[in-house]
Structure 1
Amino acid sequence: MATELRVHGVSGAPAEEVLDRPWVGRVAGDNDAGFYRPRPETHATTGPGGAELEAYRWGNLTSGAAARALWLILLPFTLANMTVWLRPPAGRDGRAVVRGLCRLFAVSLTATFVLTVVGVALDLIAWQCATPGSDCLRRRSWLRPFFTGFFEPTNRRLALAALVPLGVIALLWELARRSWARYESFRPTGERADGDGLASPTFWQGRIQVGRLRALHIAAALATVDAVLLYVLVRRDRAGGFAGVDLGPLSASAARAIGVLLCVLTGVVLGVCAAALLARGMVSRDEPARWAGPAVRAVRWTAVGVTVATLGYALLPRARWPTMGALPGYGPLVTGLFAVQVGLLSALLLVVAVQVGAARRYGLLREPLLGGFGAPVVGSIGLGLGIAFSAGVTYRVADYLDGAAVPSPADWADQPARLRLEPPLSFQWAAIGFLVATIVVLLVYAWVRLVTVRRLRAGARAATDEDFPGGRARNPARAAAVDDAVAGARATDHIGRAIGVAWGILAVGVLVATCLALAGVGPVQLAPSGSPGARMLHTLTNAGTYLISLTVIALVILGVQAYRKQRVRRIVGVVWDLATFWPRAAHPLGVPCYAERAVPELANRAAWLATERGGVVLSGHSQGSVLAATAVLQVPRSARSGAALLTYGSPLRRLYGRAFPAYFHDGVFEEISGALDHGQPRWVNLWRRTDAIGGPVAPGGRDVRVVDPIAFDPPPGDRVPPVIAGHFDYQLSPAFAVELTALLDRLRR
């Protein structure tokens, strides 16, 4: 007897809800991702068409413990990883250029994360707190032991503070290693499919690639800490830091030479990491070079060795020197890194523009999301969030330490009076930029709701009247409710334009702010010192820092609620599961890819059901339809004759096809359909006009539109009309049973 294997969407519904059976048991898999069937003693193990019911529940791969909400703090890493998949169709050389730029941008975000911790530990605490006249130690007396005794000299205090970012790097290393062992190391068994792209046998096997990327990012992170520490120490040593100090067997010149050597080695590590991210043999998932493994291990352990040596160099006895102002070189480094990141995104924008133009000429792009420029747009959002998070954390720590660390005051020309802790200048621009971006996002949302949806309502009226002739005359309010549902669903296809316009405005502002930051001009300094304009800019910038902090807290709360409450998860799950569907091919420290396990596991189970249990219909809703469709490409050819595919509420074309045109396009849909077409079509896709996520997928599958609601008027015996289901409850529609029965009949024949 054939099996209907249901795959749920982003809501992470329990197996009992997916199967609509109160008693189920796991027959394969584990608690993270398992296959469930109704218990035999219930005598309700079959569904429409007489198929055995089975559900694949993968929701715990992206949810579970509330502590996983902390993954949201690494959201910039996840967005950076998405950029490599958002590219337009291009040839092999074009793909290599985009991937190289995306990987360089991703490692720069790792450096931004590390520099944030460095700024808190080395700049604010170890350096600025020790400035004569600072209120930091008076307000936070628990810090005094770290400024006395063995660690009283500035160099040793910096070495002690460096253990904080090094500890955070070690935590990231361990977190990435554990998630790598849990997700990317899942190894499917049996015959593998062949082909390119999603059908590639190595597409969902990222163990080697992610491991090497992780090593390179950790090496770059360690080198970033070393670079900041060595710049301060070597700069001081060249100015006489070892004068009058007994170095034992070392001479002052030899000690200075050691510092220079460590600087060179740090630069070499950073340079090798950047070059390795561009080397195909190092980062390729399909064709890794034999030398890549030993090389990446050598780079990683060299970075560890240089870091240990740098700490030892920092502990050498030196003449006392007072601290004043900000940590030397830190502010310019943060600003310079941001300028490099803007440059990388600008280069990516130009490359993508060329590829979009070529793809349009050859007809390879059909209504792409954001015009095909998803990679630079999403990358810039990740950069903005990363810098904003850095600014928010830095300012909140500064506020805690001395209670007055706000951005440049309105009387910014009064420099001698400023003894407060002062974060880098570029963070002031990040704070006011985040405030402006929030306002722009709210305006875009208001425009979509008040203008776009209202404009779409006219077309929605025609659709409602087509499905329910005469219904508007009988019940105008009911017809208006259906109009609103259809118009709201169609807004999904138009929101990309509003986002593109907003992004263009913000991008120009970012370029201007970057130039001003490089010139050493902060937002408050745009107005005369002490003027009303300066006071207004000061207030706005300070408000931006608090808004960032509130946003970070809100993200964590939202993440906790998303894992605990299904309704909240449905709201945030679309974007979250869209991002974590893709392998970590650019940033190895982001949220792990659940599809690395789900797709091969689903393909393996489908192949077994197709050959050993009388056939299988992969029945996928929403994100589950994406997993089911990609699993078809991984099912061995010998088992495809016993498989069919039923998708409903599917974002395959509407979201994935528009956002990821290089991987989900007409050719891929035809390949999925062709894999199941044994003399008759075996892919049916159900969709509704009221569904804001799902839509048609043809060419490829056979699209069947489901009228929603199922009836305009209340059914006999009821006074309430049927609900407007929208994206959910496709299994309850009559069309679902009809099409599933037809697919089962084709399998039997």
Structure 2
Amino acid sequence: MPAPLPGPDTRIVEMRVSGLVGTSGETLLDTVQTVDVAGDELGRVVRPADRLRRPAPGPVVPALGRSIPRTVEGYLWSGMTSGGVAKAAWALLFPFSLANVAFWMLPPVHRGRWLGGLCRGLLRIASVLLTMLLVSQVAAAVLDLVAAQCLAPGRACLTWVTPELREGPLRIGIGVALLLALVYALHRISATNWRVRPPGHPGRKGVPMRLRADPEAPGMSATHAVAALACIALLLLGGPFHVPTKIPQLIAWICTLALVLAVLLGGAIGSDTGAIARRSLLTFATLLVIYATVLAAPVDNRLPGVDNTVEGLGGSLLVVTVLFALALIPSALLARPAWRDRPRRLRPWLGGWAAAPVLALAGLLGGGFGAGLAIAVRKLLREENLALPTTYDLVTVLWGGGLGLMALLAIAGYAIAVPLRRRRRGIPPIVELMEHDEQQEQDAARAWARSAWERRHLHHLAVIVALGLCVGAIALLVVRFGFTLQPGWFTTVSAIGVFALGALAAGLLRVVYSAARSPQRSRHLGALADLVSFWPRAAHPGVPPCYALKVVPELAARVKEHLAEPGTRVVLSGLNLGSILTVLTAAQLSAELPPDERDRLGLLTAGSPLQWGYQRAFPAVLPQDSLADLFSSLDGRWRALCRGTDIFGGGVTTWRHQTSNGHLLGEGYLPEGKWGALETTPDDAGVLILGGDHWVPDPLRAPDGRSRWAPGVLKHTEYLADPEWDNAVAMAAGLGRPKTLGEQGSLFGDLPRPR
């Protein structure tokens, strides 16, 4: 039903949600200063402030022939993803985060549920192996490269180390202590949680547009910690393929292998054995590491188990990844009927198979970062004759070739494909509808060409790189170990890979250091953390805590507080990634609010990656039917500001756009439910309102002197400077679209209807 008619006490509360890291309260609310009015140090609710730092009212909204009072609030959640050394160091866990993201990319399978269980089990096994691979590579650098080789008696490496530390097992013991501290840190990371669950509304499993914390996360955390400890013990005992000849070592070796198999099986099942069993396993694994440390003895200043352990874990991860990719094919095919009839641009990426290359990329990045770390450590030690695991030669060759592949794709895309698209298509007809100046049309056309190409093909480039690296890894293993060949070009490509991996490790550590000192200095790192930290822990516990589990309930609670006042209408407005949070919040509120309060709720998104990115990458979480139901439950009070020049954002509620005789045609969600054909024409400001999407001109029209103006092609910035923002707020509040101040507009009379 439509929103109730406004009365004299009608006011609008606009709740703005920030997007990526680095957004200040002043930028979010478009004001000179703000003051906190609610929240905590992690999730702050701010309002504009006057000169005495008191909450001040926001600008009025012209609607229905009068000025409607507006209160503007902002929710800042960047404190959960940036600031401090610990949060900056989360960037080092990016491979783990990718494996966790892959879990949420799995297609929804309603038939053949055992296939879904198989895919989830293989994904969890791969996550455990990824943890073990990273720990083994760090152990190779600490125990073998530094402790066993660099600190060997009589070696001129780190000469400031006293001879007492170089003699006996003390150097190995210190290295093991550092590794135990690393495992403890990873275990503690998995215990960090921002989750806030309102009483009476527990999360439900398998419900679209509802994120849910995994109740088995404590068991998963213990599983990975035990696996990491077992990996250290196995490396000290000679590796998985070397059977010790002495009885004490043999007993420890058998126990360690049994522990590894147990944690892999437990990881696949995903069950929690309980607090007592978790503590017992952790204690047993720690004692195994201590026992193996006492028994460890370097041979010729090398730990003999390093190569076997790293190779075995890398090979196992490769096999499990291939099995996961194969198991995902029938799972994606079974889910295909759900989206077979939809437009190509609304179908899941790779037909629902995108989780496979994401997992492969996680493994490749994990292996590459470990190798790069060892290479960087050797460079810092200035001892080029220190031996690295033999497989690192293949890793450097692989990443050298991968760097070349990425360079070729970048050249083909940005130097060839984008200019060709621009030249072939000229000025898009939709740009001609919105812009009125020839130079503005040229500027907009260039930005449209690049942004449209990136939205359509960036995921293709990522898939090509991931699959290319996977094929290259398999080919290198066959050539190196199957035919025992080492072509001459290996040396050149390996040198490129050494440079790339060393730069990767050193650069990432440098970025982490900079971000720890000043979060504002590393927006790219924060943006990356924001994207991967959006999802709850499901496949890997060693990832940053999910901020959405805190933001969505707190936003919903704040909205309910405002809606308790009968004359208040609340508009949830989110910019870029904040739009996903507002959509999830609106979906939760639509299911919980009584009809009279739901009719006073509206939604506004700007620069949202919902349709081209999240909806296609995570089809089980954001299915099109659920989004259509949300649009219908809000009765069209879901408005979306869109720019064709915006690389990150795009259309949200409409698709299949085309122009004909000065009209913009397309399909989109309808207030009465589902979706259908839509049609519109530009208004005097060049804005095209098609369904819930407001396609705004970029660059902006000439300034009118009544509001703030921003010059140039704005792309993903300055949505608040667009005059259409206030118009969209009024429509989201159910007050119709203002025409001119003093002239009453109709209530949703301008919504295009099906033809």
Distance 1:126 1:228 in 2: 14
- Work out which of the residue numbers 470, 488, 508 in structure 2 matches 1:507: 470
Q: Is the 8 A contact 1:29 1:35 kept in 2?
A: yes
2:638 is the alignment partner of 1:683: yes
Q: Is the 8 A contact 2:240 2:312 kept in 1?
A: no
Residues 242-391 of structure 1 aligned to structure 2 (within 5 Å): 256=247, 258-282=248-272, 291-311=273-293, 314=295, 323-324=299-300, 326-363=302-339, 366-391=346-371
Residue 272 of structure 1 aligns with an amino acid whose one-letter code is A
Structure 1 residue 191, shift from structure 2 partner: 4.2
Structure 1 residue 625, shift from structure 2 partner: 0.7
2:608 is the alignment partner of 1:594: no
2:25 is the alignment partner of 1:21: no
Q: Is the 8 A contact 1:128 1:323 kept in 2?
A: no
Matched residue, 1:65: 84
Structure 1 residue 343, shift from structure 2 partner: 0.9
Q: Deviations over 1:548-597 (max 9, x none)?
A: 12222222444566688898755555543221111121111123222121
Q: Deviations over 1:118-148 (max 9, x none)?
A: 21233234444577xx973466351632232
- Work out which of the residue numbers 428, 450, 461 in structure 1 matches 2:427: 461
Q: Is the 8 A contact 1:441 1:502 kept in 2?
A: yes
Matched residue, 2:608: 650
- Work out which of the residue numbers 149, 165, 184 in structure 1 matches 2:179: 165
Matched residue, 1:526: 486
Structure 1 residue 404, shift from structure 2 partner: 2.3
Q: Is the 8 A contact 2:580 2:608 kept in 1?
A: yes
* DSSP-derived class of the 1:484 partner: helix
Pair 486,569 (structure 1): closer, same or farther in 2 beyond 3 Å: farther
Matched residue, 2:536: 583
Structure 1 residue 540, shift from structure 2 partner: 3.5
Matched residue, 1:422: 387
Q: Is the 8 A contact 1:425 1:520 kept in 2?
A: no
Matched residue, 2:373: 393
Q: Is the 8 A contact 2:132 2:228 kept in 1?
A: yes
Structure 1 residue 301, shift from structure 2 partner: 3.0
Q: Is the 8 A contact 1:228 1:329 kept in 2?
A: yes
Pair 744,141 (structure 1): closer, same or farther in 2 beyond 3 Å: closer
- Work out which of the residue numbers 377, 383, 387 in structure 2 matches 1:403: 383
Pair 470,351 (structure 1): closer, same or farther in 2 beyond 3 Å: same
2:3 is the alignment partner of 1:45: no
Residue 295 of structure 2 aligns with an amino acid whose one-letter code is A
Pair 173,264 (structure 1): closer, same or farther in 2 beyond 3 Å: same
Matched residue, 2:680: none
Q: Is the 8 A contact 2:17 2:573 kept in 1?
A: yes
Pair 735,194 (structure 1): closer, same or farther in 2 beyond 3 Å: farther
Matched residue, 1:99: 120
- Work out which of the residue numbers 676, 701, 707 in structure 1 matches 2:696: 707
Pair 561,308 (structure 1): closer, same or farther in 2 beyond 3 Å: closer
Pair 591,708 (structure 1): closer, same or farther in 2 beyond 3 Å: same
Q: Is the 8 A contact 1:398 1:422 kept in 2?
A: no
Structure 1 residue 115, shift from structure 2 partner: 0.7
* DSSP-derived class of the 1:647 partner: strand
Distance 1:382 1:432 in 2: 18
TM-score by length of 2: 0.81
Give the number of aligned pairs.
Answer: 671
Distance 2:356 2:243 in 1: 40
Distance 1:399 1:425 in 2: 17
Pair 235,568 (structure 1): closer, same or farther in 2 beyond 3 Å: closer
Matched residue, 1:634: 588
Pair 487,571 (structure 1): closer, same or farther in 2 beyond 3 Å: farther
- Work out which of the residue numbers 35, 52, 55 in structure 1 matches 2:74: 55
Distance 1:714 1:642 in 2: 33
* DSSP-derived class of the 1:705 partner: strand
TM-score by length of 1: 0.81
Structure 1 residue 655, shift from structure 2 partner: 0.7
Report which stretch shifted further, 608-617 or 386-395: 608-617
Residues 531-680 of structure 1 aligned to structure 2 (within 5 Å): 533=488, 537-559=490-512, 571=524, 573-612=526-565, 614-635=568-589, 636-638=592-594, 640-674=598-632, 676-677=633-634, 680=635
Q: Which runs of 5+ in 2 are unaligned?
A: 1-10, 62-67, 654-667, 671-690, 737-745, 748-755
Structure 1 residue 67, shift from structure 2 partner: 5.8
Matched residue, 2:659: none
Q: Is the 8 A contact 2:400 2:495 kept in 1?
A: no
Structure 1 residue 7, shift from structure 2 partner: 0.7
Greater strand proportion: 2
- Work out which of the residue numbers 37, 41, 48 in structure 2 matches 1:31: 41
- Work out which of the residue numbers 110, 126, 133 in structure 1 matches 2:131: 110
Matched residue, 2:675: none
Residue 606 of structure 2 aligns with an amino acid whose one-letter code is Y
Pair 710,505 (structure 1): closer, same or farther in 2 beyond 3 Å: closer
2:397 is the alignment partner of 1:432: yes
Residue 262 of structure 1 aligns with an amino acid whose one-letter code is A
Give aligned-pair identity as a percent: 25
Residue 296 of structure 1 aligns with an amino acid whose one-letter code is R
RMSD across aligned positions (CA): 3.4
Structure 1 residue 426, shift from structure 2 partner: 0.8
Q: Deviations over 1:18-72 (max 9, x none)?
A: 1122232211112221111223757543443422111111122112236633222
Residue 362 of structure 2 aligns with an amino acid whose one-letter code is G
- Work out which of the residue numbers 213, 216, 232 in structure 2 matches 1:209: 216
Q: Is the 8 A contact 1:62 1:577 kept in 2?
A: yes
Structure 1 residue 230, shift from structure 2 partner: 2.6
Q: Deviations over 1:459-511 (max 9, x none)?
A: 36123652257633xx4xx4321111111110221222333333333321111
Residue 610 of structure 1 aligns with an amino acid whose one-letter code is L
* DSSP-derived class of the 1:6 partner: strand
Greater helix proportion: 1
Distance 2:461 2:243 in 1: 52
* DSSP-derived class of the 2:427 partner: helix
Structure 1 residue 389, shift from structure 2 partner: 1.6
Pair 726,558 (structure 1): closer, same or farther in 2 beyond 3 Å: same
